[in-house]
Amino acid sequence: MIDRIPSGFHPFVIPFLVGMAFVLLYCFGAMIRVLYELSWQDRKKFFLSLLNPKILLKDIKDIFLNCLIHVPLWKRNKLFGYMHSSIAFGWFMIILLGHIEVLLFVPGRINLFYYPIFFNYFVAEDDVTLRGSLLFFLMDFFLLLIMSGIAIAIFRRIKNHVFGVKRMARPTFLNLVGLYSLWAIFPLRWLAESFTAHISGGSFMTIPANWLFRQFLGNELNMLPTWWAYSIALCVFMCVLPFTRYMHIPAEMLLIPMRNAGLKVRSSRKGFARVEFFSCPNCGVCIDACPMTVDNGNVKDCTVYLTRQLRRNNEERIQEISDKCLLCGKCEALCQVGVEGPGLRILERARRDYTVPFLYPAGDKKVESRKVLYFAGCMTHLTPAIGRSVEAIMKKAGIDFTWLDEQGGLCCGRPMFTAGRIAEAKAIVANMEKLILESGCDTLLVSCPICYKMFREQYNLPGVEIVNYIPFINNLINTGRIKVEKSDICYVYHDPCELGRGCGMYEEPRKLLGRSAGIAEAGHNREESICCGGSLGSLSLDFSQRENMTKAALNDLYTSNADAIATACPLCQATFARYADRPVKDIAEIVNNQIL
C-alpha cells in the first residue's frame, strides 16, 4: 500500500471535515453546558467517578454494550437489536479498521483526521498481502453488516409491525434528513470504494462491484463523484445530528458515565435531565409500552414526545404531556437508554406555581401504641374489603396492631408528590412521620402499594420497619401463624405499577397467591404489566379517556382464561371492578377466605 495522492488531500474531504468539526464543537459545547448546569456536588461526584478505575471500567463496558452492541435492544427484539448493533458496531469497526489500515500502511498520515475515512481513495495497492486482504475483507464484511442493518431499517420503515414495535415517533424533517443521509453514507462508501477497488484494492463486496462498474462505466471519471457524495452524506449527517434523534449517540456516551457516577435528575430541563432527553433515540419503544396509546390514542403524549418537546422547549406541549401521563413507569422500564419518563414529568409538574398554599389539614393527633401500625391508605376506603381482610388476617394471627387511618393518618403524600407538589408532599410526610414515630410502633404495615412506595422512598422512620402486606402475610404463613388452604379458583395476577415496577416486587405476590389459589399469567406481566388506567399519576386524563385503557388492560388479563383477577392495589381493584366481566379481588381478601 502506498500513497496515491502525494498531497494526501482532495477537496472532497472538506465537507466531511466541516461536518466533523461542527459536530465535535457542538457536542463539546453541549457537554460544557450540561456540566455547568449540574450542581457543584453533582459535578464533583461526576469528575471523581471518572478517576475511579472501577467506575471508569464500568463506563467503558456499558458504553460498549449499550451504545455499540445495544444489548438491551437484543433482549427486547433480536432483529431490532441486530439492526442497531450492525450499524453502530459495524460503523465503529470500520472507523477502527480504517485507523489500523492507516497505521499499518501509511503511518505518516495518521495525523490527518480524514485519512482513515477516505483511506481507499488516497492509497494504491502495490502488492497483495494476506494482512491487507484480511483487513479488506473485514472492511467489506462490516460494510455488509452495516448495509444489512440499513436494509432492515429501510424495510422496517416500510413494514413497521414486523418488528414488534408497532409505532414510532413521527420523524421531523431534520430527522428525515439525518435518516436518509445515514442510509446514504454506507451505500455511497461502498460505491466509492468499489469505483477505486482496482487501484486501492478491495474484497468480496467491492471487487465484484468494481468489475461490474468497469463493464460500462469509465472508472476514473466516475470515481470522484461517489467520494464527493460519500463525504457530503457524512457532512449532512453530522451537521444535522445535533438537531435530530442521532444526538442520542454522543449524549448516551455522557449519560452512561453520569448515571454510573450516581447522578439523579433534579430538574426536568437542566443538567442530567438534558443529557437524558438528548439520549432518547426516538426508538418508540415507549409508545407501545404506554397504556395510554390504546387504539392509537395519546401517541403524542408518550415519553419520546416529551424528550422531543423538552429539546424544543415547547412549553405548552411539555405541560400537556407531563400532565397526562399515568406514571405507570413502563416506558422507563423498557427504555433502552433509561430515560426517566415519569421522573421527568413529576419534575416538570413541580415547576408550576401554585398560588393557593397547602396547609396540612389535621391538627395534633395521637395514635395508640401498638407493635404493628397498619395504614390502609385513602384508596382502600373505597375498597374496604382489603382493609377488613388485612385486619382479619392479623387478628387470626394474633398480631398486636392498630389502625393508623382512624387516628389521624390521612395520606402518605404520594398523590401530592406525583402531582409535582414536592414541598407540599414533604409537609404531609413530616406530619405523618411525627405521628408514626410518636406511636412507638416497630412495624408499619402498608397494604396500598402507592403508599408503600412513598413510605419506602420518602420517609425517614428510624426504628420502624416498613412492610408491605404481601411479604408480611407470606411471613405469617412461613412462621405458621396462619395456615391457608388452596382454593380451586384460578386467578390471573395483575402486577400493580407501584408494587411491580415501582418497588420491584414481582414474585412475593405470586408466591402468596399461589399458596391460596390457582395462578395464571397475563399476556403482559411483571415489568411489562399494563397499567389499569386508574392511576393517580395522570392529572389531566378524564374518566372517559381512561375507559379504553382499563379495558385493554383487562383484555390482556383475560388472555389467561383465569376465573378471576387478583391484584394487590386498591386503585387497580376499584378501576378494574368497574369494567371487569369477572371478579376482581385483592390478594389479602383471597388469602383471608382461605385461612384454615
Partner 1 sequence: MIDFGFTLSKSSTVDLNKIDHSRYDQLVKLVPTARMCMNCGSCGATCTVSEYKGMSVRKVLYGIQRGEDVKAMLSSCMLCGKCTMVCPRGINTRNLILNLCKLYD
Which residues sit at the interface with partner 1, rule CB under 8 A? 323, 352-359, 361-363, 378-379, 381-382, 410-411, 413, 415-416, 419, 421, 428, 534, 536, 539-544, 571, 574
Looking at the DSSP bridge assignments, the partners of residue 491 are: 519, 564
Tell which residue, 320, 245, 326, 323, has the closest CA to residue 290: 326
Contact 568, 553 (CB under 8 A): no
Q: How far is the CB of 572 from partner 1 (least distance, A)?
A: 12
Beta strands 564-567 and 518-521: pairing type?
Answer: unpaired
Q: How many angstroms separate the CA atoms of 438 and 432, rounded? A: 10
Q: How many angstroms separate the CA atoms of 590 and 317, rounded? A: 44
Beta strands 465-468 and 518-521: pairing type?
Answer: unpaired
326 vs 337, beta carbon nearer partner 1: 326
222 vs 548, beta carbon nearer partner 1: 548
Angle of CA points 527, 533, 535, to nearest 5° = 85
Q: How far is the CB of 317 from partner 1 (least distance, A)?
A: 16
Q: Strand runs (DSSP E) across 10-139, as ranges?
A: 123-124
List CB contacts of 191: < 8 A, sequence separation 6 or more: 209, 226, 229, 230
Q: How far is the CB of 531 from partner 1 (least distance, A)?
A: 15
247 vs 428, beta carbon nearer partner 1: 428
281 vs 409, beta carbon nearer partner 1: 409
Amino acid at position 57, single letter: L
List CB contacts of 116: < 8 A, sequence separation 6 or more: 95, 98, 99, 101, 102
Q: How far is the CB of 454 from partner 1 (least distance, A)?
A: 12
**If DSSP codes are grouped into helix, strand and coil, which group holds residue 284?**
coil
421 vs 524, beta carbon nearer partner 1: 421
Contact 199, 183 (CB under 8 A): no
Q: How far is the CB of 267 from partner 1 (least distance, A)?
A: 20
**If DSSP codes are grouped into helix, strand and coil, which group holds residue 259?**
helix
11 vs 361, beta carbon nearer partner 1: 361
9 vs 403, beta carbon nearer partner 1: 403
221 vs 359, beta carbon nearer partner 1: 359
Q: How far is the CB of 570 from partner 1 (least distance, A)?
A: 10
363 vs 480, beta carbon nearer partner 1: 363
Q: How far is the CB of 375 from partner 1 (least distance, A)?
A: 12
Q: How far is the CB of 396 from partner 1 (least distance, A)?
A: 28
235 vs 378, beta carbon nearer partner 1: 378
Contact 329, 292 (CB under 8 A): no
Q: How many angstroms separate the CA atoms of 508 and 493, rounded? A: 12
399 vs 448, beta carbon nearer partner 1: 448
Which pairs count as long-range contacts for 364-367, CB under 8 Å and 24+ apart, including other chains? 365/407, 365/408, 365/435, 366/407, 366/408, 366/438, 366/439, 367/402, 367/404, 367/407, 367/408, 367/409, 367/435, 367/436, 367/438, 367/439, 367/441
Q: How far is the CB of 427 from partner 1 (least distance, A)?
A: 10
Q: How far is the CB of 419 from partner 1 (least distance, A)?
A: 5
**If DSSP codes are grouped into helix, strand and coil, which group holds residue 112?**
coil
Q: How many angstroms separate the CA atoms of 403 and 270, rounded? A: 43
Q: How far is the CB of 412 from partner 1 (least distance, A)?
A: 9
Tell which residue, 367, 371, 366, has the closest CA to residue 445: 371
**If DSSP codes are grouped into helix, strand and coil, which group holds residue 465?**
strand
Q: How far is the CB of 353 from partner 1 (least distance, A)?
A: 7
How many CB atoms sit inside 10 A of residue 316's CB? 8
284 vs 537, beta carbon nearer partner 1: 537
